[in-house]
Amino acid sequence: MRVRIGPSRIFGKCPAGFQINDEFIIDGTNVSAVKGPICYVALSAFTAQVTQIQRQQRTTSHLSCPGCSFNKKQDNRVVFVLGSEETWNLSRMYSKYNWARLDGRATKTTKHFCDLCWKLTQARKYKEAEQAIEKALENLKPKP
């Protein structure tokens, strides 16, 4: 099973040069860039989550690279979202919602749709889960 990986949030400046729309794929034990770099420091953190996605023990995951703090005053790291090829759109949308929630933009309505998304994801109804998380995204509080 192919696992897609892309930056979800970048803190500081990634020394490898990752940007939000970059993406790479792990297919078995092979790694290939779709867009952007591949960083061996970040790869060192992925083994367990990639294996769980490949074995269908989880659908999506978020994972921070160990960080490259050459400047002790600045945190330079990337939080990645991982998902199977089948659930990649869902994984990206869920990640976007999760950051908005952490940024204080969630509401009771968005929580309802997120909970529905999770139930549909557990039932492997991925298209319906995408529709639910889209509704959650539509109902977020505006950015400050």
pLDDT (0 to 100) of residue 13:
85
Map out the domains of the chain as residue ranges.
2-138
Alpha-carbon distance of 49 to 1, in angstroms, equals 13
pLDDT value at position 72? 62
Mean pLDDT per 10-residue run, the chain (144 residues)? 95 90 95 94 91 94 79 77 95 96 96 97 96 97 88
Query: Which pTM value belongs to this model?
Result: 0.89
Report the pLDDT value the prediction gives residue 74, as an integer from 0 to 100: 63
pLDDT at res. 9: 94
Buried b (16+ CB within 10 A) or exposed e, 34-73: eebebbeebeeebeebbeebbeeebbbbbbebebbeeeee
Q: Cβ contacts of residue 122 below 8 Å, gap of 6+?
A: none
Phi, psi of 63 (to 5 degrees): -150, 135
